Amino acid sequence: MVIAIIYLHKFCNPGLGVGLVQISSPTNGVLLILCMVPELINLPQHLKKIISGFTTNKVPEHLDAIVIGSGIGGLGVASILAKTGKRVLVLEQHDQAGGCCHTFTEKGFEFDVGIHYIGELQEYKPFRHLVDQITDGQLQWASLDNPYDMVVLGSPENRREYPIYSGRKRFTEELKKHFPEEKEAIDKFVALVKKVAKGVSFMAVLKMIPMPLAKFLICSGLLRLFSPFYKMASRSLTDVVSELTSNKELQAVFSYIFGTYGVIPKDASFSLHSLLVSHYLEGAWYPKGGASEIAYHIIPTIEKAGGAVLVRAPVQSILVNEAKEAYGVTVRKGQEEVHIHAPIVISDAGLFNTYESLLPKEMQSLPAIQSQLSMVKHGEAGFSVFIGLNGTKEELGLTATNYWIYPENNLDELVENYLNSSKEDAVKLAPVVYIASPSAKDPTCEERNPGKSMLSLITFTRYEWFEDWKDERVNNRGEEYKNLKESFVKNLVDAAIEIFPRIKGKIELVEAGTPVTNQYYIAAPRGEIYGCDHNRSRFNPETSAAIRSQTPVKNLFLTGQDVFLCGFAGALAGALTCGSAVLGRNLHLDLLRLKIRLKTTNSKKNS
């Protein structure tokens, strides 16, 4: 018998796990063995870096810390610690590092899954300095078009488009062209947004000062007195914009970006909304080379200090000793459990996963842990559609502008009706559709994918609509699941064709991810995109102070968006807060000092 061994690599097809071995039945005396083993393939260095599979011999000795999860919160804090000489091991359950910063490729089309646009990346901004620090300045960014967002209200027969421009002056000027009778309301809105957003620094303060002092600031009223952010945190977005204007259309335009944190305006904190509007006010950017460049440029910093980032390493539990101190983790490797020890354990797996799944049962019941869990709830689940197109962005009319589509301007009512409907009715009601083209945003995409373009579409769904299939095998969940998914897909694709009519007839590939897809690939407990729900109660000062990087379990820390805020910037702020707790120093202040030092140095050079 002839044995033919064929090594395959299907890098990002979610259906086939890397490492899978398929053996065919002998045919004509030939036994075919198909091995998905990326380490044995001559892969580009870029891919090797982010898909290094877990084996015990790759675990560094004398670890200083273990990080569970390789989202930007996990990679960020690992890089920060590595900068101080710490040897850190990052463990990722998926088959590539990056969490929501990863990309996947199918039939020659490359898609981002969570990085769509990022603000505050001007060279003088502290956030830019942080990103440059954790990537050693190697990550490059491309500006989106201006307008960077387009708000679309109404049905196709009665569509109204409102471009959102970057630059505070341009932002207000363009809105006033569409709402000439609302100039005062627009000015007040922008001024209030800027004022409230500046007060977010007090969130970092609350999470790092001793708890008795935090309680004193809250109970005495001093916090709300000195922080506009916490003064407005309990006010809903709907209430505030209604006070500014009675124009329903302008209220919707003021509120449109609620989709970036997943809470409808009447339940959303105006303070959080102010942060998001302010975050993009001076522009929006996208990583050159795609979202996977983020992990690719962070990992060398971790490795340089003797650490490692290993994938296909599902952490089963956090090891806790009799003194209630975390001292390592267990990783499932085939049918075995591997114990890895370190004096510090950091979780980027999210509050619910960490407290309800990874900790031993006796630790889960601790009053302090139950108290934190009672303060938050799961966020809404997401539904994504990825469209592969034949043609360049010029041929298809695609631009580096994000589209936010709403059937009407009554946003609260639209979303509430949708989320309270049955899954059969929900497929007809999509109250918000986000559409963007990663290929149009990335100037290097044409080099990697000549003649091809991509669109990403996102809306919200209820986890309960797909929950019945959570335990079924990926890509084998049955006809009912497939039909439900395709019903959502059809309506979302139709919405994309309405915006970009030239893509009709050019669609080669359509893939979709449901809440149970998110549950499987990014370990989101209920398919949520933004972790813990970002409703108003999340921004109570008491909640902000209680949910911090330090946990009730000694040597166990939290990082990422559940610590601070959602999204790339919010998760990195969580990493900075976590690094501060681990190292015992205020890294937020260090970042501000770095900004001042660099600004002074540049001024001297220019003079």
d(CA 531, CA 351): 8
Instruction: Please report which confidence band the pLDDT of residue 600 belongs to, taking 50, 70 and 90 as the band edges.
Output: confident
67, part of any domain? yes
191 with 333, same domain: the answer is no
pLDDT confidence bin for 15, thresholds 50/70/90: very low
Token output for 553: 């379990």
Give per-residue pLDDT as tens, 246-269: 999 999 999 999 999 999 999 999
Predicted local confidence at residue 46, as pLDDT: 58
Q: Are residues 269 and 403 in the same domain?
A: yes
Q: Which residues of 113-142 are buried (b: 16+ CB within 10 A; e: fewer)?
A: bbbbbbbbbeeeebbbbbbbbbbeeebebe
604 pLDDT band, cuts 50/70/90, is low
- The alpha carbon of 363 is separated from its chain's Cα centroid by a whole number of angstroms, namely 28
Residue 209: DSSP 8-state: S
Query: pLDDT tens for residues 63-105?
Result: 999 999 999 999 999 999 999 999 999 999 999 999 999 999 9
Same domain, yes or no: 419 and 553: no
What is the reported pLDDT for 312?
Answer: 96
The amino acid that residue 314 corresponds to is: P
What is the mean predicted confidence (pLDDT) over 358-382?
96
E strand intervals along 37-91: 65-68, 88-91
pLDDT score of 6: 36
Residue 120 domain-assigned (yes or no): no
Q: What percent of the chain has pLDDT over 90?
A: 85
Same domain? 238 vs 386: yes
- Whole-number mean pLDDT of the chain? 91
Specify if 318 maps to a domain. Answer: yes
The secondary element (H helix, E strand) that includes residue 3 is: strand 2-8
CB 292 within 8 A of CB 95: no
Residue 201 falls inside a structural domain: yes
- CATH number of the domain where residue 304 is located: 3.50.50.60
Specify whether 492 is located in the same domain as 410.
Answer: yes
Smallest CA-to-CA distance from 548 within 568, 524, 578 is with: 578
262-279 burial by CB neighbour count: b if 16+ within 10 A, else e? bbbbbbbbbbbbbbbbbb
Mark whether 64 and 163 lie in a shared domain: no
One domain, residues 339 and 467: no
Q: What percent of the chain is modeled with pLDDT above 70?
A: 91
Average of pLDDT values for 163-176? 96
**Rounded-to-10 torsion of CA 267, 197, 561, 575:** -170
pLDDT of the residue at 607 = 64
Structural domain includes residue 453:
yes
In 3-state terms, what secondary structure has residue 136?
A: coil
Residue at 557: amino acid letter = F
Q: What is the pTM of this model?
A: 0.91
| Spatial separation of the C-alpha atoms in residues 340 and 7, rounded to whole Å | 30
SS3 218: helix
Higher pLDDT pick, 370 / 604: 370
531, part of any domain: no
Do 340 and 387 belong together in one domain?
no
Per-residue model confidence (pLDDT) at position 31: 44
Cis ω before 60 (30° cut-off from 0): no
Residue 109 belongs to a domain:
no
Residue among 383, 380, 379, 381 at smallest CA distance from 485 = 383
Confidence band (pLDDT; 50, 70, 90) for 48? confident
Distances (CA, A) of 31 to 35, 38, 419, 566: 13, 21, 52, 50
> Is residue 117 in some structural domain?
no
Same domain for 352 and 386, yes or no, is no
Q: What pLDDT score was predicted for residue 184?
A: 98
Q: Are residues 74 and 178 in the same domain?
A: no
Angstrom distance (rounded) from CA 98 to CA 87 = 19
First to last CA, the chain: 78
Cβ within 8 Å of residue 569, ≥6 positions away: 118, 119, 120, 127, 279
pLDDT in tens, 334-352: 889 999 999 999 999 999 9
Q: Are residues 151 and 181 in the same domain?
A: yes
Task: Look at phi and psi of residue 230 and say left if phi exceeds 0, alpha if psi is from -120 to 50, else beta.
Answer: alpha
| Among 120, 173, 115, CA closest to 293 | 115
171 and 221: one domain? yes
- The Cα angle at residue 299 between residues 296 and 300, in degrees rounded to 5: 100
Q: Which of the residue ranges 156-160, 177-181, 300-304 would you say has the lowest mean pLDDT?
A: 156-160
Domain count, the chain: 3
Whole-number pLDDT of residue 156: 87
Q: What is the pLDDT of residue 9?
A: 35
Dist. CA 158–CA 408, nearest whole Å: 10
More confident of the two residues 519 and 43? 519
**What is the span of the domain harbouring residue 34?**
2-43
Q: How confident is the model at residue 159 (pLDDT cuts 50, 70, 90)?
A: very high
Cβ proximity of 186 and 281 under 8 Å: no
